[in-house]
Structure 1
């Protein structure tokens, strides 16, 4: 990784800022996915030209053929953090030689199975461990972490409220 100000990632930010200034509707992006069942409780999710398979371990009724949905979420969070760290390191001129991220989440299955309506079906807590290496001071890396925490879209999906509207279509 590099922190040079004339990097390709900064060029993307500059081009986007110019396009949005010319027409604010250029800021809007729509991402799509579709899915269908596979196996006992698994699914196949299509993301444009990509396919992701998701399953559950046997303890949750699955065949353990793929990561489960909350593991896919953790991978989404990690990958979004990696991208956001790389963008913001370049934007802030912070040199990062090494970057690795681990995520861990606590889930109480009583919520999913409806055994206790007082228990959330999702994670009760998520912990991220970010390891940064390079020549910068701890203060500069803390500045980078604050920027990432403020701008990571998948982290925002977890910490903010995102309206979800479901339309049920029956035959």
Structure 2
């Protein structure tokens, strides 16, 4: 059961609900990113008004000047979990005083390097631990976790196949 909220998040939900009710096309959002390669295996990524660096550790040919792509994935998953916990706590009227999260993933580099085509190039498993504190009982926090697991976009990207269409352009 969801409840109405008078918080900032609740106001965002209400405004979005009203906009989508007026025109379902308002539910569609497009996010964009671009990357430019530099150095051995590094890149600069731009997402709208934000820019960040990506590199690999020396064992993968980089200089370890920034997080690598799979570390950014783990960070993206955790950040999405945190925001989704906050959103659904507000929506469900569950008080959360603090949220922390950590993740680790197992990656077998034989897949990336093409040493064994039976080994996938991505994570074989990712483990996430979210810690919430607050006055609610364990049943309420379990309800919150269920809502988060059902609605976290980055978790959904991992759990469900997402069509990706790649086009190679040559200049």
- Relative to the length of structure 1, the TM-score reads 0.97
Higher relative contact order (CA 8 A, sep 6+): 1
Deviation at 1:4, TM superposition (A): 8.6
2:54 maps to: 54
1:131 maps to: 131
In the TM superposition, 1:156-171 aligns within 5 A as 156-171=156-171
Q: What does the per-residue CA deviation read over 1:88-119, in whole Å, with 9 as the maximum and x for residues that have no partner?
A: 00000000011100011000000000000000
Stretches (4+) displaced over 2 A:
none
1:19 maps to: 19
Alpha carbons 2:5, 2:11 under 8 Å: kept: no
> 1:127 & 1:61 partners in 2: Cα distance?
26
> 2:169 & 2:108 partners in 1: Cα distance?
31
In the TM superposition, 1:92-171 aligns within 5 A as 92-171=92-171
- Unpaired segments of 5 or more residues in structure 1? none
RMSD: 1.2
Q: What is the count of residue pairs matched by the alignment? A: 169
> 2:38 & 2:50 partners in 1: Cα distance?
16
Deviation at 1:50, TM superposition (A): 0.8
